[in-house]
Chain A
């Protein structure tokens, strides 16, 4: 069981994290906007996360923390 947390207000909505997730569970949350005015990245199906940290390594703004 792995867990990803997003420091949401650092997110700039570039979507690079969504392209590298092998489980394709990182998505942009189109229902919300963060303090910068972007749709932040999020994971809705956390049970599918393997904790590979690809999203965190791709993120240019160090938004993501991964625990396993």
Chain B
């Protein structure tokens, strides 16, 4: 019998600490598989965020560094400049990247740092207990928005991919989702493309993964994926915003 699917060697043996049904596990696997299939895993260096994925350094079979809250792109900048031949990536949530780390990600993209950012957007602060994030949808309830986000008070959710796609040296920007098998396969293609873009030295690459937080959304994992399709994707449309073919 031939193996059709098994755990990639890009992932360490340690079981994930994430809540049941959390899509972080799927996204970790896609990143690890992509690095393994591109033969980059042995030299890869990842930067873990603050947030639910703070322990990401335990799960990838490559060198990892923990960064201060939101500062993963700055840390990755230093790492990549010292190790230009390594695949360097940051793995960040929306509470990390879109809020406290907004300046770091914008300037890393503006400088065209040859790093890849995996941006996991589940529209809420997960680890700290479900507070409203910059990406929380209008009307979506959070512990700091018990009646739902009010756009007159808290503004509109931030679309990171669209914003970064306006930056000339952000050469690969794509938004994907992991709510079903078809989209998981598409997400992996985008992540692989982002790493290839980095290794070709073209500039900054980012893949935004629309994700769930069953625990803080107060839903079962199955309901959460349905909610994602019905509410997240209309506001955060999937697709490619920049790719290297446009870049001269």
Contacts and interface: CB of A to CB of B under 8 A. Distances in A.
Contacts of A15: 21, 220-222
A37 B82 CA distance: 46
A16 B22 contact: no
Nearest to A58: B181
B52 to A, nearest CB: 12
Interface in B1-26: 1-7, 11, 15-16, 18-26
B29 interface: yes
Nearest to A19: B222
Nearest to A22: B181
Interface residues of A, number: 28
Contacts of A66: 3-6
A61 B25 contact: yes
A20 B25 contact: no
Interface residues of B, number: 29
Contacts of A58: 26, 180-181, 184
Contact of A60 (B11, B21, B185): B21
A57 B2 contact: no
A4 to B, nearest CB: 9
A14 B18 CA distance: 11
Interface in B208-237: 214, 220-222, 225
A65 interface: yes
A41 to B, nearest CB: 11
Nearest to A54: B181
Interface in A18-58: 19-20, 38, 51, 53-54, 56-58
Contacts of B24: 60
A19 to B, nearest CB: 6
Contact of B2 (A13, A56, A61, A67): A67
Nearest to A3: B1
B221 A57 contact: no
Nearest to B214: A14
Given A12-B21, A20-B180, A58-B181, A68 B4 contact: yes
A66 to B, nearest CB: 4
B18 A60 contact: yes
Please provide the 7 A-B residue pairs with the shortest distance between their CB atoms, ordered closest to farther.
A60-B25, A14-B21, A12-B20, A53-B5, A14-B20, A67-B1, A56-B5
Interface of A: 2-3, 7, 9-10, 12-16, 19-20, 38, 51, 53-54, 56-62, 64-68
